[in-house]
Chain A
Amino acid sequence: MQKSTLRPRLEPALQVRIHDLMVKTRCVEERMIKMNRDGEGFFWIGAPGEEAFGVPLGLQVKKGQGPDFDYLHLHYRSSPLIMAMGGTMLDSLRQMGMRATDRYSAGRNFTNHYAIPEWNVAPMAPTIETQYLIAPGTAWVQRRHGGDGITIVNGGDAGTAEGDFASCLIWSTRPGKEIPMLIIVVNNKFGISTSHGTQHGVRNIADRGIPHGMQTKVINGNDVFESWAAIDEAMRYVRTERRPFLLEAHVSRLNGHSSSSGANRVDELDCILEFEKQLLADKIRTEAEIKATWERWRDEANACVKQLRTEPFPEASDIWKWTFHNDADNTLAKAGGD
């Protein structure tokens, strides 16, 4: 991607806040990688390299419950967004540590797989593209409901090969029935080991919105300023016009695909280091302040891991829980025998 020429003004206090959340996210991800290496969690997948895009996104979400607020249908590299919305390190680490106290899945799901009704964060699944089919449902309800709440859906570049992505483009642009949806593709140029260019003939993934009459944009998601401005523009459009917008953000994948590929740091541009250069040059932060930010979040992450180690794992009998709604004693769950 070309270096951004667009650099909107962001208040220094906001820049400090963004930086703080970026570091917080990186630290919680790095702590999870360490838990994986220490045998305290089995599988790690997450978002180092997506902070410059995800944090500005999370800060601009209209957070709340119900159709007046934004609905979120996310993929597994959404920790910057969740941290920016107010997610805690402890909650993420509890999921990594498979504790009964894991508020997202009670020890059932992989890390970074949220389900947060109070913030309209729909249950997440490892299936790479199903969220693009589910999102039009909440956006449809919002279209009928009115107001300025929108639906936000994100996913990776490789996953756009699934028909689900094409369905999303179709369903969001039915003539006279367009829906208020911000469709995001986070392009890190890889799906596991397969490079994007070997499988996709389109110039930009975002261009696929054009024949549907959709507003589209491709941005450098490693740049905080460009990300903030593009998300702001796209959200304003979707909130007021009640039509979809397709935004493609190019980002780094700093620790490879997941713990399955080792989770080692790779040589790609680090958006936090880039942002810090800017903060120093603009005298918004000093070296010492930056260092203190990292130390504070690393300490916090360590403290959270200490805390969760004292918390219980789920119990064997928990497997039946929540199979059905309104089935407190698991009678329906065990209708086929136990």
Chain B
Amino acid sequence: MANMAQAIRMALAYGEKHLGVTDVFGEDVGPPLGGVFTATQGLRTSWNSPLDERGIIGMAYGIAVAGGKPVAEIQFCDYIFNTIDLLKLVGNAHWGSAGKFNLPLVVMTPVGAGIHGSIYHSHSFDSIMTHIPGWKVVMPCTPIDAYGLMIAALKDTNPVMFMKPKALLRTKGDERIPGEPEDEKVLKDMIDAPLGDRSNWKPRWPELTDYTVPIGKAKIVREGTHVTCVTYGRHVHWAKAAADTLANEGISVELIDLRTLYPYDFDAIKTSVRKTRRVVFLNEDTAVTNFGEHLLRRTTEELFYELDAPPRLLSGKNVPGVGLAPVLEDASVPQIADIEKMLRETATVPA
């Protein structure tokens, strides 16, 4: 099976061939490296930019204005903070020009902790990004969804922020990408750059086909009846593990992978919460003014009388960074045991 980096690469190759992608660029995105997580290896339109994040977002905006279809990468979301004003400009170009300009561009960036990344290389970006109106914001947790969401992003005529959970980029899924060869070694031979000299290497892309995960559509990862857990990114997998344990205790968890943070699928949340009457929102961003707080607010306002327990948020701790030592990282972002505990409490607190 393809890993998430390979899936993204294949979606971009599909985009170059069928969806008019003109530029895939950013720091170390082009040859020889093809991205620090190899997500852009071998792409026909990929190129290396100067080490200048503001320049990267500005360039993407300009290319889109001139009719191109850019995919820009910020190497780690930890380095996207100096571009916030440009992200704001991208977000308000259509609105501020009374609909005269739209910006069909994609920015992708690895987010979150989980690779022992220390103070930098562990930031989350969901709260800040969803605070910039005018962008669609997606985050896959499997290779197949990464493929389908990237294709959806490339088809979209609006700016899309594609957040890559960095801890999952090298993990494989259990569903094949449409067109992916059965043997993963064959895939590797076809699309992974060789070690050593790559100057004459060219990938052989499989016959990739269209597969779109609609932006704005959540996925019920696991059906359940006692408590709903709404999350995204790598915490989907951890919530699943927690739900498996709780199932042995007779607690049935309904797990929603939001997949799109904006425009998010509130219908899916509503339907589930109406069924379970209990809900935990889960993410690893810092706690104060957290994106999950917004979902909590809507849940409280719109579903207050249908809840049997206080709706909860499990998030990262409100500290300035994630420390390098594993004990610090584990204490800063929600772990499986923390998820289990909060789901158990929420499922069992008397109505």
A interface residues with partner B (beta carbon < 8 Å): 42-43, 98-99, 105, 107-110, 125-129, 158-159, 161-163, 191-194, 198-200, 260, 313-320, 323, 333-334, 336-338
**Chain B residue nearest in CB terms to A320:** B319
**Binary flags per residue of B131-169, CB closer than 8 Å to A gives 1, else 0:** 000000000000000000000000000000000000000
* Chain A residues within 8 Å of B221, by CB: none
Q: Are A108 and B119 in contact (CB under 8 A)?
A: yes
- Indicate which residue in A126, A194, A323, A337 contacts B119 across the interface (CB closer than 8 Å): A126
In the bound complex, do residue A192 and residue B33 qualify as a contact, i.e. CB atoms below 8 Å apart? yes
In the complex, chain A residues whose CB is within 8 Å of the CB of B288: 336
Q: Are B325 and A314 touching (Cβ within 8 A)? A: yes
* Majority DSSP secondary structure for residues of A touching B: loop
With A336-B287, A336-B288, A337-B287 as contacts: A194 and B116 at CB distance below 8 Å: no
Between A and B, 16 residue pairs with Cβ closer than 8 Å are A43-B324, A107-B325, A109-B324, A110-B118, A127-B79, A128-B79, A161-B51, A161-B55, A163-B54, A194-B33, A198-B48, A314-B323, A319-B323, A320-B319, A333-B318, A336-B288
Instruction: Say yes or no: B27 contacts A192, CB within 8 Å.
Output: yes
Distance between Cα atoms of A260 and B75 in the complex (Å): 14
- Closest-CB distance, B23 to chain A (whole angstroms): 16
Kindly state the separation between the CA atoms of A323 and B36 in the bound complex, as whole angstroms. 31
Which residues in B have some Cβ–Cβ distance to A below 8 Å? 27-28, 32-33, 36, 48-55, 78-79, 82, 116-121, 287-288, 317-321, 323-328, 330-332
- Selected contact of A199 from candidates B36, B49, B327, CB within 8 Å: B49
- Choice from B33, B36, B50, B323 contacting A158 with Cβ under 8 Å: B50
- For A200, the closest partner residue in chain B by CB is B50
**How many angstroms from the CA of A193 to the CA of B30 in the assembled complex?**
9
Q: Which residues of A contact B28 (CB under 8 A)?
A: 191-194
Q: Among the listed A110, A314, A333, which residue makes an inter-chain contact with B319, where contact means beta carbons less than 8 Å apart?
A: A333
Q: What are the 9 tightest A-B residue pairs by CB atom distance, in nearest-first order?
A: A161-B50, A42-B116, A193-B33, A316-B331, A98-B325, A107-B325, A108-B323, A126-B120, A336-B288
Contact A43 B116 (CB under 8 A): yes
Which residues of A sit under 8 angstroms from B325, Cβ to Cβ?
Answer: 98-99, 107-108, 313-314
CA distance A199 to B49 in the complex (A): 7
Contact assessment for A127 and B48 in the assembled complex, using a CB-CB cutoff below 8 Å: no
The listed residue with most A CB atoms (<10 A of its CB), out of B48, B79, B319, B331, is B319
Residue of B32, B52, B320 near A161 (CB, 8 A) is B52
Given known contacts A127-B120, A314-B323, A337-B287, A108 and B32 CB-to-CB distance under 8 angstroms? no
Please, how many angstroms separate the alpha-carbon atoms of A191 and B324 in the complex? 24
Say whether chain B's binding surface is mostly helix, strand, loop, or mixed. loop
A130 vs B51: C-alpha distance when bound (angstroms): 13
Residues A109 and B119 in contact in the complex (CB < 8 Å), given A127-B79, A314-B325, A319-B328: yes
Besides the known contacts A42-B324, A107-B325, 6 further A-B residue pairs in the complex with CB atoms under 8 A apart: A42-B116, A110-B119, A126-B118, A313-B325, A314-B323, A338-B317
The smallest beta-carbon distance between A295 and chain B, in angstroms, is 31
Tell me which residues across on chain A come within 8 A of B326, comparing CB atoms: 98
A194 in contact with B52 given A260-B36, A313-B325 (CB within 8 Å): no
| Residue numbers in B under 8 Å from A323 (CB-CB) | 319-320
B84 to chain A, nearest CB (A): 14
Instruction: Indicate which residue in A98, A193, A318, A334 contacts B32 across the interface (CB closer than 8 Å).
Output: A193
CB distance from A156 to the nearest CB of B (A): 8
Question: Separation in Å of the B193 CB from the closest CB of chain A?
Answer: 11
| Complex partner residue of A315 from B51, B121, B321, B327, CB under 8 angstroms | B327
A319-B331 contact in complex given A158-B51, A198-B48, A337-B287, C-beta closer than 8 Å:
yes
Q: Which residues of B contact A161 (CB under 8 A)?
A: 50-52, 55
Residues of A within 8 A of B317 (CB): 319-320, 338
- The smallest C-beta distance from B113 to any residue of chain A, in angstroms, reads 12
Answer whether A107 and B51 are a contact pair too, CB < 8 Å, given A42-B116, A43-B118, A317-B331: no
